[in-house]
Amino acid sequence: MDSIKPQLPTISNEDRTPLVDVLLELLAWQQKQIDQLEQEILKLKGETTKPEVKPSKMDKDATEDGDRNDSGTSKKKKGPKRSKTEHLKINATVDIQPDKIPAGSTFKGYREVVIQDIVFETFNTCYRLAQYQTPDGGYISGQLPDGLNGCHFGNDLISFILYQYHHQHVTQPLLLKQLQDIGVDISSGRLSQFITDGLDVFHNLKFPIKSSGHHA
């Protein structure tokens, strides 16, 4: 009489370690080898091998739903259809009228079509620092925001430089050309300084993808 195959206990995610994962993979591999050997033995004995039948996902879904129609076949329940773009932020809305509208036509609303795109361009800000002469002859002036770190390049640009170099592995010469091609006035020395010195300041930042809101 065949011995009963022991069942593995359920292992929670908290108990799963790299060692446990490796052992589970090893057990699965050993079981596959045993199954193949059993099939070979059956072939040598001239017996019919057991066909490998994978469970049907459709049957599983039908069983879980537990809904059957009049003919007795399972019918999967369908929820309300969800728009694939309903979670997207809409930066611009453009109304388009038909080229020709026959007289007497009745307006019935809009059919919305969302087109995803990206705007990748420079964004330069000129800070106008107001200056005043005080009654005693001195001068006071507006101050740049503290977050600019005292340089003429914004934090988003520096974050992009670090992201491209350290995460996307873009070489410094290619990165310099990429920045200059989109209109950033930066030297190779300044770029190198950001790469070597800027990581301590921006190591917790991710490259922020911002949309300018511009559209044709």
CA separation for the pair 209, 216 (Å, rounded): 20
Q: Is the pLDDT of residue 62 over 60?
A: no
Least confident of 113-127, 176-190, 196-210: 196-210
Least confident of 37-46, 61-70, 80-89: 61-70
17 band by pLDDT with thresholds 50, 70 and 90:
confident
Q: What is each CA distance from 208 to 65, 193, 205, in whole angstroms?
A: 43, 21, 8
**Residue of 184, 140, 132 lying closest to 161 (CA atoms):** 184
Q: What is the H or E stretch that residue 13 is in?
A: none
Q: What phi and psi, each to the nearest 5 degrees, are found at residue 141?
A: -145, 150
**Residue of 163, 193, 196 lying closest to 178 (CA atoms):** 163
Give pLDDT, residue 71: 56
Give pLDDT, residue 51: 58
DSSP 3-state helix, strand, coil percentages of the chain (rounded to 5)? 35, 5, 60
Q: Report percent pLDDT > 90 for the chain.
A: 36
Helices 188-197 and 155-162: angle between axes, nearest 10 degrees: 80
Question: SS3 of 194, please?
Answer: helix
Q: Structure tokens of 83?
A: 């728009």
DSSP 43-60: HHTTPPPPP--PPPHHHH
CA separation for the pair 83, 163 (Å, rounded): 32
Task: Tell me what the pLDDT averaged over the chain comes to.
Answer: 78
215 band by pLDDT with thresholds 50, 70 and 90:
very low
CA separation for the pair 92, 213 (Å, rounded): 7
* Strands in 104-199 per DSSP E: 131-133, 139-141
Give pLDDT, residue 212: 46
User: 194: how many CB neighbours lie within 10 A of its CB?
Assistant: 21
End-to-end CA distance of the chain: 78
